[in-house]
Amino acid sequence: MLETTTDPNALLEVRNLWVEYNTPTGSVPAVAGVDLTLAKGEFLGVVGESGCGKSTMLFGIAQLLNPPASVTAGEVWFKGQNLVALSAKSLNHLRWRDFSVVMQSAMNALNPVHTIGHQFKDAIKAHAKWSETEIRVRSAEVLELVGIDPVHLKSYPHQLSGGMRQRAMIAMALLFTPDLIVMDEPTSALDVVAQRSLMAQIKELQKQLGFAVIFVTHDMSLVSHFSDRLMVMYAGQVVELGTTRAVFDAPAHPYSKGLLDAFPSIRGEKKRLTGIPGAPPNLGRPPTGCRFHPRCPVAMDRCIVDEPELYQVGAVQARCLLHEPAAQKVEIES
Ligand X SMILES: Nc1ncnc2c1ncn2[C@@H]1O[C@H](COP(=O)(O)OP(=O)(O)OP(=O)(O)O)[C@@H](O)[C@H]1O
53 binds ligand X (CB under 6 A): yes
**Which range touches ligand X (CB under 6 A), out of 22-30, 139-147, 206-214, 324-332?**
22-30
* 51 lies in the binding site for ligand X (CB under 6 A): yes
**158-166: which pairs have CB atoms within 8 A and are 24 or more residues apart?**
158/112, 160/116, 162/106, 162/107, 162/189, 162/190, 162/194, 163/190, 163/194, 163/197, 163/198, 165/106, 165/107, 165/110, 166/102, 166/106, 166/190, 166/198
Sign of the Cα pseudo-torsion (127, 128, 130, 135, in order):
negative
Write the secondary structure of 170-209 as one string of H (helix), E (strand) and C (coil): HHHHCCCCCCEEEEECCCCCCCHHHHHHHHHHHHHHHHHH
Please state, in angstroms and rounded to a whole number, the distance separating the CA atoms of residues 4 and 96. 22
Contact flag: residue 237 with ligand X (CB under 6 A): no
> Is residue 50 involved in binding ligand X (CB under 6 A)?
yes
Rounded least distance, CB 88 to ligand X, Å: 21
The residue within the footprint of ligand X, chosen from 15, 37, 47, 54 (CB under 6 A), is 54
Q: Figure out which of the listed residues 40, 127, 218, 302 binds ligand X, where binding follows CB under 6 A.
A: 218
The residue (of 56 and 317) whose beta carbon lies closer to ligand X is 56
287 lines the binding site for ligand X (CB under 6 A): no
Instruction: By CB under 6 A, name the one of 52, 168, 190, 313 that touches ligand X.
Output: 52
Pick 137 or 279: Cβ nearer ligand X = 279
28 sits near ligand X (criterion: CB under 6 A): yes
DSSP 281: P
Cα–Cα distance measured from residue 62 to residue 95, given in angstroms and rounded to the nearest whole number: 8
Exactly one of 18, 21, 77, 292 binds ligand X (CB under 6 A); which one? 21
- Sole binder of ligand X in the list 45, 48, 251, 308 (CB under 6 A): 48
Out of 110, 116, 140, 283, point to the residue binding ligand X (CB under 6 A): 283
Q: Least distance (Å) from ligand X to the CB of residue 19?
A: 8
Q: Who contacts 260 (Cβ-Cβ below 8 Å, separation ≥6)?
A: 220, 248, 251
Interaction site with ligand X (CB under 6 A): 21, 23, 28, 30, 48, 50-56, 68, 218, 283
